[in-house]
Amino acid sequence: MVIKCRPISKGKSKGELIVSNELLSFLGGVNPNTGEVIDSNHELKGKFIKDKILFIPGGKGSTVGSYVIFQMKKNNVAPRAIICLNAEPIIATGAIISDIPMVDLPESTEGLVNGAKVEVNGEKGEIRIL
């Protein structure tokens, strides 16, 4: 199954989905040294997004969140790709400067559940459920 999306950041990656129904702030919400979600009020608290395909509604918080994503990439703890329902500039910029494939506005979310194996193609604007 292929889900069409809007391409945000080029590249292609596959892996296991980690899904949240809550917006995520990378500044103060994610540890850039470990990739652990540390926001005590977030549903992913204590989970690691390293090497996962992160699916979130979007981001929130400071523009420094873009740099936190970049720092995570430098520390090898970033997600393999990011899917947003509706991307905003903070996460989009972070993905672009970090070479993390990213898409948003999926035409469907069917099958996009925790643990699903997917491939994100940021050039074609597609999510393929494997």
pLDDT digits (tens, 9 = 90+) for 34-82: 999 999 999 999 999 999 999 999 999 888 999 999 999 999 999 999 9
- What pLDDT does residue 6 have? 98
CA atoms within 13 A on the CB side of 110: 6
- CA–CA separation, 70 and 56 (whole Å): 18
Beta strands in 20-122 (DSSP E): 53-56, 81-84, 102-104, 117-121
Going by pLDDT thresholds of 50, 70 and 90, the confidence category of residue 119 is very high
- Mean of the pLDDT values across residues 99-111? 97
Q: For residues 15 and 118, is the Cβ–Cβ distance under 8 A?
A: yes
Are the C-beta atoms of residues 104 and 120 closer than 8 Å to each other?
Answer: no
User: Model confidence at 12, in pLDDT bands (50, 70, 90)?
Assistant: very high
In angstroms, the CA 1 to CA 44 distance is 27
Per-chain mean pLDDT for the chain: 97
| Catalytic machinery residues | 62
